Amino acid sequence: MDDNSVHELALRMGDNCLILGQGLSAWCGHAPALEEDIALANIALDLIGQTKHWLGLAADLSSEKKTADDLAFLRDVREFKNCLLVEQSNGDYGNTLMRQFLFDAWHYPVLEALVKSSDKRIADIAEKSIKEVTYHLERSTDLVIRLGDGSAESNKRMQGALNRLWRYTGELTEPDSIDDALADSGIAPDLGEIRKKHTQYLAAALREAMLTIPDGEQMQSGGKRGLHTEGFGYLLGEMQVLQRSNPGAKW
């Protein structure tokens, strides 16, 4: 197995954590309740911490001398390999929670498998991350159920969020040639297996939340190839402005 595929895996994992962490950070000081504000800030912090591990590994494996910060702040849209789900705008609080839930329910089984990766660098990061993600999944599941099975208004908002975001869930477990190579060498799991777990988990939780999975939705994909949705450039612009306008700035 060449390090190129491991590099790509580290980028994909790291970019997912980074972009979702960036989106969540925007809630800091704006969430509907103090406890929610603190929870979102903590989850964002966990994800940014995990980003540091993943992009640190990607940087170590890159041919040029790069750091995790260079990868986060100096790459352009096409070089980011995160899935489309995590780059969708925060929307209302229900939308943010639904996005988190759909992602956590994928993130958890992926990390569970990566803990057993044949590549120790990957396994170590997964072992650390999964402890944090266990809490993320527990929380987002609980809140999606409470709000879905809550008032008429909260149910309507959660269903709306699910309808909007569902089309971005297929990509999470859609393998490309890199995924296949990683699975063959025991570095990463077979995404077909992850798909089964993801689908099962979502179905059980959403049923309990009294929410209906959209039928016959056309799935969108492209993130792993660097093809992103419209709002992504703005997200990067905001995230990178400081380093772009003050190259090398430190604090």
Partner 1 sequence: MQTAAKKTSVATVWSWLENVPDPEIPVISVVDLGIVRDVVWVDDRLVISVTPTYSGCPATAVISLEIENELRRHDVEKVEIKTILSPAWTTDWITEAGRQKLKDYGIAPPVNGAASCAGALMRPAFSAVECPHCGSSETKCVSQFGSTPCKASYRCEECLEPFDYFKSF
Interface residues with partner 1 (CB under 8 A) are 35-36, 38-39, 41-50, 52-53, 120, 123-125, 127-129, 131-132, 134-135, 137-139, 141-142, 145, 201, 204-205, 208
Q: Which is nearer to partner 1, 52 or 164 (CB)?
A: 52
Q: Which is nearer to partner 1, 25 or 220 (CB)?
A: 25
Q: Which is nearer to partner 1, 169 or 228 (CB)?
A: 169
Sign of the alpha-carbon torsion through 234, 235, 238, 241: negative
Cα–Cα distance between 136 and 20 in angstroms, integer? 12
Smallest gap from Cβ 57 to partner 1, in A, equals: 10
Smallest gap from Cβ 246 to partner 1, in A, equals: 21
Smallest gap from Cβ 60 to partner 1, in A, equals: 13
Length of the chain in terms of residues written: 251
The answer to whether 215 touches 154, Cβ cutoff 8 Å, is no
Smallest gap from Cβ 36 to partner 1, in A, equals: 8
**Encoded tokens for 97:** 């929670």
How many other β-carbons are positioned within 10 Å of the β-carbon of residue 180?
A: 14
Contact residues for 239 (Cβ-Cβ < 8 A; gap 6+):
22, 72, 73
Smallest gap from Cβ 230 to partner 1, in A, equals: 29
Q: Which is nearer to partner 1, 5 or 141 (CB)?
A: 141
Cα–Cα distance between 28 and 39 in angstroms, integer? 10
The answer to whether 85 touches 30, Cβ cutoff 8 Å, is no
Q: Which is nearer to partner 1, 42 or 185 (CB)?
A: 42
